[in-house]
Structures are given as C-alpha cells and as structure tokens.
A and B are shown apart, each in its own frame.
Chain A
Amino acid sequence: MTPQSPASPPIQKAGATAAEAAAEIPKRNAASRVLLHFRKFGAFYIMMAPTIVFLIVNNYIPMIGSLIAFKNIKFAYGETLVQSFLRSEWVGFENFEFLFRTTDSWIITRNTVLYNAVFIFLNTVIGIAFAIMFNAMRNRLLAKFHQTMMFLPFFLSMVIVSYLVYAFLQPELGLLNRVILPFFGIDNTTDWYSDPTWWPVILPIINTWKNIGYYAVIYLAAIIGIDKEYYEAAMIDGASRWRQIRVITIPLIRPVIIVMVMLQIGRIFYSDFGLFFQVTRNSGALYETTLVIDTYVYQSFIGAGDIGMSSAAGLYQAAVGFVLVLLANWVIRRISRNDALF
C-alpha cells in the first residue's frame, strides 16, 4: 500500500474507517484500476481469446469487403483485388438499385418477411409443444426413439426434398391428386406448380417438418434444466399439470425463447434458398407467393456475377435484420432487462 498523500482528509471517525478506507481505493489512478480489473477477470480474457482471434480473422476482416457494395469494381485496375478495389470508383447506392426499382420489390419483401414470421411462430410454438410432450412421456425409451426419428428430415438436402414433394404434388401422377384427395372425395386436377394460392401453406409445412427437430431439442434441453424443486413445490400446492406448464415451465425457459426468437428475427430478411428455389422448382407461375429476396438476387446474377451488386444485396439484408434486432432488443430491455441479448 502506498502511503497516503499529505493532502488526504485529516481525521476520520473511528467507526467509519473500514468503509471509507475501502472507498478510497477507486480514487487511485486509472492504471491500477485496469490492473485490478485484469487481476479479477484475467482468466475471462484468456478464455475468450481464441474466439476473439477467430472472430476477427474469420468475420471482421472480411467485413471490410462490404464496402465493395459501394464501388464499381473493375478488375483490370489492379493486380490484386485490394488494388482493384482501391482504384475503382465510388458509386454510392447505385448497386442497390436493382433491389428497389422493380415493381416486385414489395412482393419479395412481403414474401420474405411474412414467411419468416410464420416460420418463427411455428418453430417456437411447435418446438416448445414437442419439447414439453417429450419431457412428459412416461416411456423414456420411446421418447428417445421418437426424438431421433424427428431429426431424420433434417438430414435430407432440400434437393431431395424437392423430388419427394414433386412426387407428392405432381399434377397427374402425384400422390395428392391421384390417391389422397380422391380418398376424401375431392376430385382435383389442380396443377400445384402453376397455382400460387396454396404455397403459403405448403412451404411452412415442409419447413417445419424439416427443421422442427432442431428447435424441439433446444427447448427440450432448456426444460430439462429446470430445477425440479419448483415442480415439487407446485405439486404440494396442488397445481394441475397444465398449470405447472403455464406457471413454471414456460416462464422458466423464457430466456431461451427470447434468445431464439431474437436470433431468428435477425435473419428475417434471409430465406432458405433450397426451400424457395428447389422445392418450388423455380416455377415462374408461383412467384407471386414464392419469390423471396434470396432467390430474386440469385436469379439476377445468373451468368454474370456482379460482385458489387451481390455485396449490396447482402448488406441490405443484414442491415434490415440488424435494425429489427436492435429494436426488439430495446423492447425486451424495457420489459425484463436480463433477458436482452445485449
């Protein structure tokens, strides 16, 4: 301990010495405060170090590349991309134009957002429902078996899924038109791939079927983490099973739900390319309800990859998602501070 400076406060009341002595410490210079911080949290920094390095190299350095969106790159200007980049001209938002000057820009935005909203809703509700049911099943072995099976669709690539869907929805030979609907007495010859009306139903079904394993497992892990003492107390209070779910299970996994929903909101402008491109067989007649930003952008670049424009598209999607998450995070902070993402 370094000696007090002569100008320190004179006499202190006896009883207050300890507290006031402790209060003296923050008055020391910044350097020692930093030192203290690292003594206390040094281990944390070491733990985070590998990931920090990783994020910088893998994510932040390439991020500089998003500036490409604002330039019109001519490769002839330099021997390396960096040189070409530095010597090409700035063009402001010109590369973003193709996203907005189309009469379709409303449709693609609407489709993207609405589908994702539906997906988020289904993933959450059905995911939690499945998790609760799994947790409640009496036969543990059966539960594990079903959990494994639920994952199977996840392993099929969307291309294969598109073949299966086609086998199902084919106008003449498909299972739906030939077998299932007649079974219910409906004689239907709709060409599913020419009629945009039903795809807002078809696509969420497929998306949920494929991905629900993912979400169910996350929520299941969350539920398992709940301390059983809560349930014991509730039983003693005579609460019904339903009540227990409403009052204990769901509130206690709320942080997980919030994180999951927020992260999905951040991706709200992105779509599963395979789902919207492969499964729909990219049928133009369906565009009204199936064209989304990602497929729109992909299509614009066939045969000629304009790096500036594709960069612009990516930036646009990221920016919107970012703003929305910030908004959502701000709202959550007002409600329950600790659950916020940051």
Chain B
Amino acid sequence: MSQFQAAVRRRADIPAVQRISGPANTAINIFFAIYTLLCVFPLVVVLIASFTDERTILVEGYSLMPEVWSLEAYRFLLKDWWAVVDSYVVSIVVTVVGTVVGLAMMSMYAYPISRQDFPFRNVFAFFLFFTILFNGGLVPFYLVYTQGLHLQNTLAVLILPLLVNGFFVLLIRTFFANTIPKELFESAKIDGAGEWRIFTQIVLPLSLPALATVGLFTTLNYWNDWFLSLLFINDTDAPVTIQFRMYKTLLDIQYLSANASAYSAILAANPNFTIPGETARMAMAVVGIGPIIFAYPFFQRYFVHGLTVGAIKG
C-alpha cells in the first residue's frame, strides 16, 4: 500500500497557478468586506438590543447606541442559570456524539453506493432518496419513538433522528464518485487491499473537504434543533437542548400571534398574562448562538486539497 500512501499527499491552499490579478483580488475583497458587514451588522443590532432597556426599544426602536442600557433581559433569562448551563452541556454532548456517529454512518453508506462496480448501488440510493421526500407525518414518527422504542425523555432521542440525513449522504456519495479516480481502487485491489482498508485509508483521507462539509452541517443541524426537545421531552428534569430552552418563549409568541381568539380568551381570563419583551427575545437569540460560531473555523481546516493523483496516473 505504500506507493499510495506516498502518492496521497496533503496539500494546503491554492497552488500558485491559480493566482489572480491584483485588481480582481481587490474587487473581491471589497465586495466581501461589504457583504460581511451586512452579515455582522444585524447580529450586532441583536446583541445591543439584548443589552437595552425594554422601554427604550418599544418607544425608539432598535439602535446602535440606545439611550438606556440594561441587563434586565439577561437577568430574566439566567434566573435559572443552572438550567441554562445544563442545556448547554446537553447541546454539546448531543452535537458532538451525533456528528461523529452520524458522519460515520453516512459515509459508510455513501461509499458502496458511489462505487460504479456495485450492481445495486442505484437500488440503495433510491432506498435512501425516497426517505428525503416522503414521510408518514408527525404522529407515526412520534409513536415509533415513544410507544415503539420508549425513548421519550432520554438523551438518545435527541440524537437518533438526526443521525442520517439523506441529503448529506447523497452529497458525500457525489464527492466519493467524482474525486476519487477509479484507478486507485483497481491498483489497491491488485495490492490485495480489502474494502475496509480502501475505505479508511484511501477514500476517507481523500474526501476531507466533503466530510468536513457534512460534518459542519450535521453539527449545525444538531445545535439548531429544538424540535426534538419539544416533541419528546416532557419532564422538567429531562435533558433539553439550549435552543429549545431559548426558543420556547418564541414559540409562545408565534402561537399567540397566529391564534388571536385564543390570545383574546387567555387575556380575558388572565389579565396578568404577559410574554417576555423584545429585549428578552434578543437575549435568547444571543444565548442560543453561543459557541456554535466557532464551528465553521473548526471544520474549515479540513477544507484542503486532499489529493495529488500525479503519482497514480502515468
């Protein structure tokens, strides 16, 4: 196998051949500078709003330099700070475990269906693809996990449903099929390598960009999920993700805004009913984002050219 390991060299960054002209580079830089501003600016507004006094927001709207600052939103949110920390831990565990296991499962499925010489590859591809489009609805899904597997209120139920995403599997398959030359397989087989070795020692190392991409998206999927917590977690002691904890209130607001007669009835019966104000919602957004911002930089270092085929060809 050594000639292949020799051939597989990690290369960082773009080779000199692709340098572009000075003016073009400047133009691109300016463009992205502006675009980045457009992306960062709203977040800054949210951040500042979360530190603003509620009244100021209601009367004057959002601004970058509010008249009255206040920590009230965070005080409200973190009243139960232990629960917040707990949810953070849950989110992190769920995300890490889910991403690692999910990535493993997905790439192991993508590999066979990417191989041209596997006669049933299209059957299995379809088997997977069908699930992207069709689902039986919320209730049967709910039943399977609660009355079928009895996983409500567990950590497992926050991980399992998101492990395999057909979309991502097909993406990985496309990468496998198009960036790994067939000759590699043939030569490897001639050298006596079994499928597992080929998979782990050739295919995976050469597909780092693809794996990093799907790894990143899976991480984001897990981190952003609040739906599973909503569906399956009923006990106040059971684990919930941080997004859910933050999003609960926003859901209340959404429900009430869609359901005017319910809102009306609740207000009629319970005049003290209030929902957290704007600043609290902004604070929720900030707390919910948290460490995930670092996800991209983390995966980014795997975005490298994983291959020179040079030594193989010719």
Contact = CB atoms under 8 A, between A and B. Distances in A.
Interface of A: 37, 41, 43-45, 47-48, 50-52, 54-55, 57-66, 68, 80-81, 133, 135-140, 142, 144-157, 159-161, 163-164, 167, 170, 173, 209, 214, 217-218, 220-222, 224-229, 231-232, 235, 241, 244, 252, 255-256, 259-260, 263, 266-267, 277-278, 281-282, 298-299, 302-303, 307, 310-311, 314-315, 318, 321-322, 325, 338, 341-342
B177 interface: yes
B69 interface: no
A-B pairs, 5 with minimum CB distance: A65-B140, A65-B136, A43-B195, A44-B112, A62-B140
Given A139-B29, A160-B281, A303-B262, 5 more contacts: A43-B195, A63-B136, A152-B40, A217-B216, A342-B126
B4 interface: no
Contacts of A173: 61
Interface string B38-50: 1110110110000
Nearest to B125: A342
A159 B137 CA distance: 24
B135 interface: yes
Contacts of A244: 18
B170 to A, nearest CB: 6
Nearest to A325: B133
A65 B139 contact: yes
Contact of B127 (A55, A154, A315, A321): A55
B109 A136 contact: no
B6 interface: no
Contacts of B297: 144, 148
User: Which residue among B38, B45, B209 has the maximum number of chain A CB atoms within 10 Å of its CB?
Assistant: B209
A48 B104 CA distance: 10
Given A61-B144, A155-B293, A229-B309, A55 B164 contact: yes
A55 B40 contact: no
Contact of B254 (A52, A159, A160, A263): A159
Nearest to A257: B174
Main secondary structure of the interface of B (DSSP, over half): helix
B310 interface: yes
Nearest to A41: B118
A174 B126 CA distance: 49
7 contacts: A136-B25, A144-B297, A152-B293, A160-B46, A160-B281, A227-B307, A227-B308
A138 B19 contact: yes
A137 to B, nearest CB: 6
A71 to B, nearest CB: 12
B253 A156 contact: no
Contacts of B17: 228, 231-232, 235
User: What interface size band does chain B fall in?
Assistant: 35 or more
Contact of A51 (B18, B24, B109, B126): B109
A256 B36 CA distance: 26
B271 interface: no
Interface string B146-167: 0111000000000011011001
A62 B144 CA distance: 7
B132 A263 contact: yes
Contacts of B212: 221
B144 A149 contact: no
A163 B281 contact: yes
Contact of B31 (A133, A220, A299): A133
A228 B305 contact: yes
Contacts of B132: 263, 266
A318 B133 contact: yes
Contact of A263 (B38, B149, B170, B257): B170
B175 A222 contact: yes
Given A51-B164, A157-B285, A163-B281, A225 B179 contact: yes
B20 A48 contact: no
B143 to A, nearest CB: 6
B72 interface: no
B112 A263 contact: no
A66 B305 contact: no
A62 B161 CA distance: 12
B262 A51 contact: no
A140 B254 contact: no
A176 to B, nearest CB: 12
A341 B288 CA distance: 36
B281 A259 contact: no
Given A44-B195, A225-B210, A54 B134 contact: no
Nearest to B170: A259
Given A164-B42, A342-B125, A263 B108 contact: no
B258 interface: yes
A137 B105 contact: no
A62 B118 contact: no
B136 A62 contact: yes
Interface string B115-130: 1101100101111111
B237 interface: no
A121 to B, nearest CB: 19
B91 interface: no
Given A61-B144, A154-B220, A229-B309, A54 B118 contact: no
A170 B177 CA distance: 50
B254 A64 contact: no
Interface in B148-206: 148-149, 160-161, 163-164, 167, 169-171, 174-175, 177-179, 194-196, 199
